[in-house]
Structure 1
Amino acid sequence: MSSQDILKNASTLASYNVLLQVMFRVLTFLLNAFTLRFVSKELIGVVNVRLTLLYSTLVFLSREAFRRACLSGESGGNRNWRQVINLIWLTVPLGVLWAFLLGCVWLWLLEVPDAHNVPYYGPAVVLFAISGVQELLAEPLWVLAQSHMFVRLKVVAESLAMIVKCSVTVVLVVFAREWGLYIFSAAHLLYTGCLMLCYAVYFIRFLGSKEAVKKSFPLHHVADLLPHRTDGEPLVDRTLARLTWSFFKQSFLKQILTEGERYVMTFLNVLSFGDQGVYDIVNNLGSMVARFIFLPIEESFYIFFAKVLERGRDIRSQKQEEIAIAAEVLECLLKLVLVIGLIITVFGYAYSHLALDIYGGSLLSSGEGPSLLRYYSCYVLLLAVNGVTECFVFAAMSQGEVDKYNLVMLALSVSFLFLSYMLTWWAGGVGFILANCLNMGLRILHSLLYIHRYFQLSQWKPLRGLLPSPLLLLALAVSAVVTSVSEVVLCCDSGWLFRLVHIAVGGVCLLLVLVTILFTESHLVQFVRTQLLPRYKKKHK
């Protein structure tokens, strides 16, 4: 597969993933708004922070390293898939081990919520751990699908699973509110079960079919999906196993950085369960656009960079046409996420209070909720840039460089935990966001230095993507001033007519910014049209 074909597939995958994340976030957004009217904020805090942290930790530590290693290197048709599948199946016993260890911690070492306000905590811990192991059963199928760019499978599977989860949650919240945590545990168990079932049904029908033969798919029978040894071959690829171990050591540190505030809240009790619920809702609301766009782009273009670049090799010893494509894509991605991040920062500041008031009423808009969302709008900008820079760096690093970076991640993890604890005591929930901003800035700095050194001896300068046009910066500055004044004058205690005028002011300013982008960032607009909008591309072929 040529680099152009890989780019096309990665772009299509990113587009589908964006649509998937939009649906997920919209459903979660509506579900949270609905459950806020029926259950206590303490219950939401335990589910969204404590139990979700158990699930995400179990799944991340069990599979992240395997995913990164197995999606690196050679293209899907040129590798020994028998050894890859044997390796990826190790996620299941590893997941069982983590489920037992983490379950013991969550049940016996952490503070147990009050049974009257948050009933059935113990069974919920067990069910969330089981759901994590259940999802890992589909991991070999997920890796096969991602490596061979089965872009629609992930969208359909996760869409159906999410619809099932939301439907069950709504029904049980309305008709069986006394079930407490059983409601969310059952819904999550059905979510992972539906996800696993969709992948299993697809591959059972696909293997041996005419479509599989046409695509030269390396596996032919359902039995090939199960682990077994081939005579004369090692059970797993030792090089891939060593790379997995390197990523595995790094996964501990990355998980702490990713979910650091939840670990601090869970293990250090710096916020009550009710405050944790409010913080998590604001956090999810603030990260909606980031999850809509930035995460799918990062996941999809990591695959592109991993396939186009030869890991650990000097830029001069690689195919120059592929390096050129990688540099151009990196520059455009940096410009894209920077522009989106700046827009979110500018308009997020002036519309945080209004958004929370509409979404959750005085429960969210009073207190520090608006301040949390304003700070988070600034954090999204850093989150956007970091996602793309690390996406490239992790695809280009050699195994030795990955091991060295583990030390950097260790230092960042320790500093983040310390800063989170200190800043939270000083500034409450805002302290978590400030600590995230500081650590994200350091991660970006490290990645930028690596990218600068990587392209230093070449003609390509992809970091120019971080330099938007002066006219665009002026349009953003004007919009920031106008919308801030509009919020003070018109929002948010003067009735709906003034609120609508405030929204209209923001709409006009946003239109000004978008028009400026069209006229000053033509290269970026062309990249989005040709690579991230497959429908547009098909229409104009």
Structure 2
Amino acid sequence: MSSKPPITKPNNAPKSTSSAIGAALLIAQQFGSRGLTFIVNQVLLRYLSPELLGISTQLEVYSITVLFFARESLRVAIQRQADTEDVAPKPDEEKKKIPSDHVDAGTSAGKTQAIVNLSYISLYLGALFAIIVAWLYTWSLSAGDPAVLATPYFPAALKLYGLAAFWELLAEPCYVVVQHKSRFGIRATAEMIATVLRCLTTCGSAIWAAQTGRDIGVLPFAIGQCTYAVSLLLVYYSSVWSIASTNGFSLFLNSIYSSDPSSYLLSYFSLPLLKLSSSFFTQSILKHLLTQGDTILISLLTTPTVQGTYALASNYGGLIARLILQPIEEITRNYIGKHLSSTTSPSQKSRVLEVRQTLLLLLRTYILFSLAIIVVGPMVAPLLLKIVAGSRWTSSGAGNVLATYCYYIPLLAINGLTEAFVSSVATQRQLARQTLWMFVFSAGFAFASVLFLRVLDMGAEGLVAANGLNMFVRIFWAWGFMRSYFKGFNTSLEIRELLPKGLSIAAGVGTWAVLSQLEKGFGGGIMDLVKSGVVAGMFVLVVTFAERAHFMECYREFRGQGQKP
């Protein structure tokens, strides 16, 4: 007797409200973590030279590279797996076909087990890339900058960073469950605790070394990274274990039963998700090279001192991206991926229109945010840097780099949202086409970087300019994809829908003119910052008034009270 598979319905279906709460939790966690990291960095600046800071940045890039290649493509693919809950139980005849040690693929537990199993691939990839990237890194140093290899405890620090990356990947099964079930509170708690302990161990070991007269080089950063990974692992498993037990899946590899055995590799890995992950993998390599390419190129084309200056400026300039933009981008990708995961649903068009509305609101908010950054940032940022880090760093040119970085932040923000949309809805064929364009973007970025750094000798500012050019062309491509996608549902996406009101633009021009005059008399004191703050505050008030209708619409949308298209 034939029977139908169990009916499922969306579980915790993506809503604007839950997405907003998730974004708020992650932003709050980022503020807490980065705030603490900022304080610790101010302490470390008293004990570390720009050269050591530059080397620690290279080690961080090594860790990020290993983690990115090991898990990023899997994470993006997994986010397209919609969470469902079982509505109708299977008949007894069907249940008897399922081995006792297998999880039914058609149930909510089976779908969750599928992504848990897939996450274990990142462990094997992580071990492989930790070895390969470490070898390439040391080879490039021996050929181009052997002095770095002579830094005290550098080999030990490199090994510890690789070990920490593997430990962090051990927590990946818990991470995918948390993302899949939108349990963002667990993630925020785990990352916050791990960050606190990392800061304490990094700062503590550096101070101890200074007080005892020991030169341990970049070892404090490696110790801190290991502490972070172990803490993350322990907190995640202690929090997610009960979720797995309650919902009938395992945090370890477990066989999955499917009525279509060909859809699973070795009864463990979902072939559709594997194919999607492979499509993202090549693209993720190019994206990482473009994302981390600035650090890679500056390490190859400049001195450690310039690297330290750029690292400080980009760390401060990137605070906004890490505190606010990155959590919003992650939540947006998660929201869109689950909202549009079904291509055959009768309500697909209404879901597309709903996503379009949310996307437009976010993009327009980003445009207004960008207006404020461009108007206020370039003149106020160097002043803030001098007050926080001291004149030693501003005299090294970090202030000018930070001012230039303010023009780059808006491009970084908009690109994050547009590419989040592309990665959430693109087919494998469309992803392949995007990957080809990524090759073009990579070549263009490399050419622009060499031109600005070597030919025009613009230093770190030239690298920021090359990054900005790269982001612009990526936004241009993603915008074209988005317009084509929405056109397929008989709706449009126009730039004019994103433009600020005329009063907002006028206020921006006026504020820029006033700050330009004030900047001529800046002496680097607190009063200069107060004056700038007053002018910036007036600008914010005018923009808030001019864009009040937009902000009210955002409020209604993310409270779940907005009118859905």
Instruction: Answer whether TM exceeds 0.5 for this pair.
Output: yes
1:371 is matched with which residue: 400, 417, 420? Answer: 400
Q: SS state of the match for residue 116, structure 2?
A: helix
- Specify whether residues 76 and 188 from structure 1 end up closer, same or farther in structure 2 by C-alpha distance, changes over 3 A only: farther
> 1:66 is aligned with what amino acid?
L
2:102 aligned partner: none
1:507 is matched with which residue: 533, 548, 555? Answer: 533
Q: Is the 8 A contact 1:131 1:189 kept in 2?
A: yes
Distance in 2, matches of 1:309 and 1:462, equals 21
2:65 is matched with which residue: 53, 57, 69? Answer: 57
2:373 aligned partner: 344
Correspondence 1:399 to 2:428: yes
Distance in 2, matches of 1:71 and 1:389, equals 16
> 5 Å matches for 1:517-528?
517-528=543-554
Q: SS state of the match for residue 15, structure 2?
A: helix
Correspondence 1:196 to 2:222: no
2:200 aligned partner: 167
1:317 CA drift (Å) = 7.4
1:438 aligned partner: 469
1:113 CA drift (Å) = 5.3
2:443 is matched with which residue: 410, 414, 419? Answer: 414
- How many positions carry a matched residue from both structures? 513
1:275 CA drift (Å) = 1.6
1:462 CA drift (Å) = 6.3
Find runs of 4+ consecutive structure 1 residues off by over 6 angstroms: none
Correspondence 1:322 to 2:351: yes
Q: Is the 8 A contact 1:294 1:337 kept in 2?
A: no
Distance in 2, matches of 1:477 and 1:117, equals 51
Q: Is the 8 A contact 2:165 2:229 kept in 1?
A: yes
1:69 aligned partner: 77
> 2:206 is aligned with what amino acid?
V
2:172 aligned partner: 139
- Specify whether residues 317 and 435 from structure 1 end up closer, same or farther in structure 2 by C-alpha distance, changes over 3 A only: farther
> 5 Å matches for 1:103-182?
103-111=134-142, 114=147, 118-177=151-210, 178-182=215-219
Q: SS state of the match for residue 378, structure 1?
A: helix
1:307 CA drift (Å) = 1.2
> 2:46 is aligned with what amino acid?
R
TM-score for both structures, normalised by structure 2: 0.86
Correspondence 1:36 to 2:45: yes
Larger Rg: 2
Root-mean-square deviation (CA, aligned residues, Å) is 2.3
Correspondence 1:461 to 2:490: no
Distance in 2, matches of 1:116 and 1:420, equals 25
Correspondence 1:288 to 2:288: no
2:251 is matched with which residue: 225, 242, 266? Answer: 225
> 1:333 is aligned with what amino acid?
L
1:527 CA drift (Å) = 4.6
> 5 Å matches for 1:200-215?
200-208=237-245, 212=246
Kindly indicate which of the two structures has a greater share of residues assigned to helix.
1
In structure 1, stretches of 5+ residues that fail to align are none
CA deviations over 1:79-99 (Å, ceiling 9, x no partner): 623332222101001100001
1:444 CA drift (Å) = 0.7
CA deviations over 1:89-110 (Å, ceiling 9, x no partner): 0100110000111121223332
Distance in 2, matches of 1:361 and 1:508, equals 23
- Specify whether residues 275 and 113 from structure 1 end up closer, same or farther in structure 2 by C-alpha distance, changes over 3 A only: farther
- Specify whether residues 399 and 115 from structure 1 end up closer, same or farther in structure 2 by C-alpha distance, changes over 3 A only: closer
Correspondence 1:478 to 2:478: no
CA deviations over 1:285-336 (Å, ceiling 9, x no partner): 011112221111100011111111247x59x976232122111101100011
1:491 CA drift (Å) = 3.3
In structure 2, stretches of 5+ residues that fail to align are 1-9, 86-107
Range with bigger deviation, 456-465 or 446-455: 456-465
TM-score for both structures, normalised by structure 1: 0.90
Distance in 2, matches of 1:131 and 1:2, equals 34
> 1:126 is aligned with what amino acid?
K
Q: SS state of the match for residue 74, structure 1?
A: coil
1:464 CA drift (Å) = 4.3
> 2:254 is aligned with what amino acid?
H
